[in-house]
């Protein structure tokens, strides 16, 4: 018998089965339906990557509801028509077999990494109702201070949700990486920018930033273009990084002493009057504070800096002179490299700002410039909200002790665990993790300990993380390739450009967007903030249509999906007025810092911990170029390129410690220890050990990443807010690279 199309549905339920089987075969129609006439054709769709902040444009090939291929988008000023390895393999996120698929709840109240939570599947309705009820109860009984959001401040509707319920305790890794930089830039050069016009730079000085290996394409393309057109690149880094190999000069600087070199460069440029006089006289407060500035920097001679940093004084002096003479010159200010790494990171950001001001390249070709962005209205502009409740309550991370941090609104990663456990024990009653893992925190075991004291934990994420082990409710979020949005260029934006982000395929399983979760929780907890002027619930599609129209991109979102990209080329007009807090001129000397518990000029401070008899070596971490934090290790393609971490040791140190290639070693700091195999390499200083970040997932069931490698954070001390304040770190650097360790054979 030959069956033709449709026969099965005609036959269903009437099959001549030998033994009843009505329900058994009847079940077929529960899981199958009549097929559409023809399979969907292959389509090419434009969208935007979402792995890193470059958000490069993508051309995607989609066949029959399945993403087949991703490549760069011509005309995109970020990726310049290309994608990196992470971006190209992005479909692996969507199709990761481990991804969170349905809302789940735990049935076993006991929590721990090795406890079976007894998961059962629940509906979105039940999940959202439960979270809203738990959060609502916490606010009613204990106030908004009892909620902790470990979440980035995006998208805009998520921010509205947090504002509408008065969340005061929020931290995320952007704070860890950006906070000091945001604060310093606001008061020195005005605003907060990541744009660097490397293409036109002639002299680039890099403190630690391995931007070549990181393949954050928006920067990688720029520095390659700079080198091609003859720029000189100087790199200070204890590691012989990809960027160090690419640079014209590399100095294996003593860890955590970049500040000394930066201060000495300022000393040379100021004392020898090499600065860009036109810019400095016209656009900065140098004149007003000249005496103080000159006097302050006198102490930081290259000879002094050599003692601290191991960089020869002669080299520092020559580089400072070249930097001033061979412009346009720039010292890029990147995120983790500066703020997160060392306790003196805030001082370093200030010193870097001053170097760029002295070079006269703030918002000038070849320098650090402010993005010319397209104006896309946020949800608060489209649907103006009622007044938000005042932000009241104790700050679990203690940021209220640092006025500049409080003013910024960010949070402190490194003090959060101590806040939960010791400073305000029992205060946090409910916690929400939005796309974060405890692995990103310094000293993750302490954060797990803190999490275990919180009565209710909800997690929204794409992949299983160790945090899920402590969750009461797990919500599965859709990936960036399954969502809709408008992406405005912010990391490279000499003129406005917007790229569409459109769902290439319907969100898999029962995954939903973060925006959906914000809206639905908001409707339940603070309904007045989630209605339009006619009293109807805000609708996310209508909101997107409205944003598209008001930004002048297209009549509606569907129309913009067809166009894919909007570019408004315009000449670059350098700023003549700088949007600095409290004025219009760039500030070298910042009087507001003095008034708010900081230093008006950058001062030398050592890193938090220095090698000692007990812990004689520096402990450095890095993020492999093919990975992003701890989110990509389960991607089989990227895993193949960088599968796990090792203790990178200089052969000289290895020989002193009698450690051979591949041998297991134990790295111990004052807070913990990890064990992993040694890999001997000349690329690291003989007084340091380097370990890649992002491994050591305890979610051992992860297909690819489970149980592999060591968790680098276990040897990194967290800190108390009092320690941070006493150390003089007024802008909240995280001290991720401040640990010192001992190393031994296992």
Partner 1 sequence: MIDPAARFAFAGNAFLKPEPARLAELARELEDEVLAAEIERDPEGLEKEYYRLFLNPQGTPCPPWQSVHGEEKRLMGESHLQALEWFRRYGVEPASTNEPADHIGLLLLFYAKLLESGAEEAELAAFRAAHLAWIPAFCDSLEAQAKHPFYAGLARETRALIADASGLG
Q: Within 617-636, which residues bind partner 1 (CB under 8 A)?
A: 636
Residue 584: how many other CB atoms lie within 10 Å: 12
555: DSSP letter: S
Among 13, 24, 44, 656, binds partner 1 (CB under 8 A): 24
Question: Which of positions 448-467 make contact with partner 1 (CB under 8 A)?
Answer: 464
Question: Which of positions 502-531 make contact with partner 1 (CB under 8 A)?
Answer: 505-509
Residue 81, token pair as written in the block: 């028509």
Q: Output 31 or 573, the one with its CB closest to partner 1.
A: 31
Question: Which of positions 32-51 make contact with partner 1 (CB under 8 A)?
Answer: 32-36, 39
Among 47, 78, 88, 92, binds partner 1 (CB under 8 A): 92
Which residues are registered as beta bridge partners of 249? 234
Look at strands 147-150 and 329-330 and give their pairing.
Answer: unpaired
Among 3, 291, 387, 613, binds partner 1 (CB under 8 A): 3
Instruction: Kindly state the smallest distance separating residue 122's Cβ from partner 1, in Å.
Output: 11
Specify whether the CB–CB gap between 216 and 53 falls below 8 A: yes
Look at strands 368-369 and 688-692 and give their pairing.
Answer: unpaired
Element of type H or E holding 285: none
Instruction: Kindly state the smallest distance separating residue 2's Cβ from partner 1, in Å.
Output: 8
Question: Which of positions 472-491 make contact with partner 1 (CB under 8 A)?
Answer: 474, 476
Peptide bond into 155 cis (omega under 30): yes
Among 71, 101, 202, 294, binds partner 1 (CB under 8 A): 101
Of 559-567, 653-661, 700-708, 731-739, the segment contacting partner 1 by CB under 8 A is: 700-708
Residue 595 interacts with partner 1 (CB under 8 A): yes or no:
no
Contact residues for 370 (Cβ-Cβ < 8 A; gap 6+): 190, 191, 193, 195, 363, 575
Q: Output 65 or 287, the one with its CB closest to partner 1.
A: 65
Look at strands 497-501 and 565-567 and give their pairing.
Answer: antiparallel
Question: Which of positions 634-693 make contact with partner 1 (CB under 8 A)?
Answer: 636
Q: CA-CA distance, 260 to 308, in Å (whole number)?
A: 7
Report helix, strand or coil for 689.
Answer: strand
Q: Output 121 or 568, the one with its CB closest to partner 1.
A: 121
Q: Output 35 or 325, the one with its CB closest to partner 1.
A: 35
Q: Output 22 or 400, the one with its CB closest to partner 1.
A: 22
Question: Which of positions 260-299 make contact with partner 1 (CB under 8 A)?
Answer: none
Among 468, 481, 487, 680, binds partner 1 (CB under 8 A): 468
SS3 letters across 678-718: EEECCCECCCEEEEECCCCCCCCCCCCCCCCCCCHHHHCCC
Question: Given the structure tokens 């299983």, which residue do they identify?
Answer: 464
Among 325, 558, 701, 746, binds partner 1 (CB under 8 A): 701
Q: Output 222 or 694, the one with its CB closest to partner 1.
A: 694
Contact code string over 173-202 relative to partner 1, x by CB under 8 A:
------------------------------
Which residues are registered as beta bridge partners of 619? 689
Report helix, strand or coil for 58.
Answer: strand
The number of residues that bind partner 1 (CB under 8 A) is 71
Among 61, 102, 136, 274, binds partner 1 (CB under 8 A): 102
Q: CA-CA distance, 697 to 704, in Å (whole number)?
A: 10
Question: Which of positions 60-89 make contact with partner 1 (CB under 8 A)?
Answer: 63-67
**On the CB side of 691, how many CA atoms lie within 13 Å of its CA?**
32
Give the ranges where 272-383 is alpha helix by DSSP (H). Answer: 277-283, 286-297, 302-309, 313-325, 345-359, 379-382
Question: Which of positions 105-134 make contact with partner 1 (CB under 8 A)?
Answer: 107, 116-121
Q: CA-CA distance, 455 to 147, in Å (whole number)?
A: 11
């Amino acid at each position: 018998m030959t069956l033709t199309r449709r026969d099965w549905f005609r036959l269903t339920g009437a099959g001549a089965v030998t033994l009843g089987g009505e329900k058994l075969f009847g079940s077929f129609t529960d899981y199958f339906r009549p097929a559409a006439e023809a399979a969907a054709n292959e389509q090419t769709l434009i969208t935007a990557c979402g792995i890193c902040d470059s958000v490069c444009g993508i051309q995607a090939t989609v066949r029959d509801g399945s993403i087949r291929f991703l490549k760069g988008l011509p005309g995109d000023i970020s990726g310049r028509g290309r994608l990196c390895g992470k971006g190209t393999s992005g479909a692996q996120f969507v199709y990761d077999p481990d991804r969170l698929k349905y809302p789940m709840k735990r049935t076993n109240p006991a929590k721990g990494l090795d406890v079976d939570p007894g998961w059962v599947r629940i509906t979105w309705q039940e999940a959202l109702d439960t979270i809203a009820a738990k959060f609502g109860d916490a606010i009613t009984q204990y106030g908004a201070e009892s909620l902790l959001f470990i979440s980035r401040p995006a998208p805009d509707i998520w921010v509205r949700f947090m504002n509408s319920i008065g969340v005061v305790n929020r931290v995320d890794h952007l704070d860890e990486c950006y906070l000091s930089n945001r604060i310093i830039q606001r008061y020195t050069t005005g605003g907060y920018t990541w744009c660097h016009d490397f293409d036109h730079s002639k002299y680039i000085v890099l403190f630690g930033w391995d931007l070549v290996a990181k393949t954050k394409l928006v920067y990688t393309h720029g520095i390659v273009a700079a080198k091609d057109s003859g720029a000189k690149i100087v790199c200070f880094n204890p590691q012989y990084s990809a960027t160090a190999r690419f640079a014209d000069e590399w100095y294996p600087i003593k860890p955590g002493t970049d500040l000394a070199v930066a201060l000495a460069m300022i000393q040379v440029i100021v004392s020898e009057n090499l600065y860009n006089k036109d810019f400095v006289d016209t656009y900065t407060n140098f004149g007003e504070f000249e005496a103080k500035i000159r006097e302050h920097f006198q102490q930081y001679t290259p000879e002094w800096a050599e003692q601290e940093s191991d960089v020869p004084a002669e080299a520092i002096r020559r580089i400072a002179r070249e930097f001033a003479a061979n412009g346009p010159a720039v010292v890029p200010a990147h995120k983790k490299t500066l703020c997160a790494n060392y306790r003196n990171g805030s001082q370093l950001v200030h010193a870097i700002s001053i170097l760029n001001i002295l070079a006269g390249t703030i918002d000038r070709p070849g320098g650090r410039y402010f993005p010319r962005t397209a104006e896309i209205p946020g949800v608060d502009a489209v649907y103006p909200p009622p007044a938000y409740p005042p932000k009241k309550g104790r700050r679990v991370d203690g940021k209220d002790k640092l006025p500049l941090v409080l003013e910024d609104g960010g949070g402190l990663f490194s003090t959060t665990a101590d806040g939960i456990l010791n400073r305000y024990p029992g205060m946090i009653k409910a916690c929400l993790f939005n796309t974060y893992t405890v692995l990103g925190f310094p000293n993750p075991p302490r954060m797990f300990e803190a999490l275990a004291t919180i009565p209710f934990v909800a997690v929204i994420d794409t992949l299983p993380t160790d945090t899920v082990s402590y969750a009461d409710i797990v919500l599965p979020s859709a990936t960036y390739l399954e969502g809709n949005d408008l992406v405005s260029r912010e990391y490279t934006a000499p003129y406005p450009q917007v790229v569409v982000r459109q769902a290439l395929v319907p969100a898999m399983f029962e995954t939903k967007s973060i925006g959906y979760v914000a809206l639905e929780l908001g409707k339940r907890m603070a309904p007045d903030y989630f209605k339009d002027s006619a009293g109807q619930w805000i609708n996310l599609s209508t909101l997107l249509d409205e944003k598209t129209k008001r930004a002048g991109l297209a009549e509606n979102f569907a129309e913009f999906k067809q166009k894919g990209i909007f570019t408004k080329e315009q000449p670059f007009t350098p700023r003549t007025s700088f949007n600095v807090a409290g004025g219009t001129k760039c500030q070298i000397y910042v009087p507001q810092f003095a008034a708010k518990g900081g230093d008006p000029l950058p001062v030398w401070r050592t890193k938090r911990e220095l090698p000692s008899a007990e812990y004689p070596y520096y402990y450095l971490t890095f993020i492999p170029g093919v990975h992003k934090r701890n989110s990509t290790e389960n991607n089989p393609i990227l895993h193949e390129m960088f599968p796990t971490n090792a203790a990178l040791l200089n052969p000289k140190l290895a020989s002193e410690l009698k450690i051979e290639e591949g041998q297991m070693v134990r790295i111990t700091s004052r807070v913990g220890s990890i064990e992993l195999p040694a890999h001997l390499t000349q690329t690291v200083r003989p007084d340091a050990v380097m370990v890649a970040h992002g491994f050591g997932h305890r979610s051992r069931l992860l297909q690819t990443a489970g149980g592999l490698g060591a968790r680098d954070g276990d040897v990194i001390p967290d800190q108390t807010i009092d320690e941070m304040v006493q150390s003089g770190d007024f802008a909240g650097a995280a001290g991720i690279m401040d640990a010192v360790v001992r190393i031994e054979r296992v």
